[in-house]
Amino acid sequence: MTDKHKDDPDWQGHNSKAYSVAAAELRQFIEQIESGEAEKKEAADRIKEIYAEAKARGYDAKAIRKLIAERKRDKNDLAEEQAILDLYREALGM
């Protein structure tokens, strides 16, 4: 609590308790976010290691990324996109 609040009658009692509870809740949110960010970094580092291992064994990381992206997508959307690409490739003689 800062000194400016000591003399504020609205700050006394209920408001100071509300501030205390809100501060504790805010701190908890921030700590959870920080923990999540640390976990996210650890996961990203692990994924990077896996790509490096796959590359060392002769796999193409770019192709693996594309496959992972495709697996996340809706099968119908993916099939429609593939059909359009096939049509366009045929039109271009590819």
Enclosing domain of residue 49: 10-59
Is residue 20 within 8 Å of 27, Cβ to Cβ? no
3-state secondary structure string, the chain?
Answer: CCHHHCCCCCCCCHHHHHHHHHHHHHHHHHHHHHHHHHHHHHHHHHHHHHHHHHHHCCCCHHHHHHHHHHHHCCHHHHHHHHHHHHHHHHHCCC
The whole-model pTM stands at 0.63
Q: How does pLDDT run across 4-31, given as a tens digit for each residue?
A: 666 666 656 556 676 777 888 999 999 9
* Domain co-membership, 53 together with 68: no
State the total domains in the chain: 2
Q: Between 61-72 and 14-56, two packed helices, what is the crossing angle to 10 degrees?
A: 130
* Domain co-membership, 33 together with 74: no
Average pLDDT of the chain is 89
**Is residue 87 pLDDT above 60, yes or no?**
yes
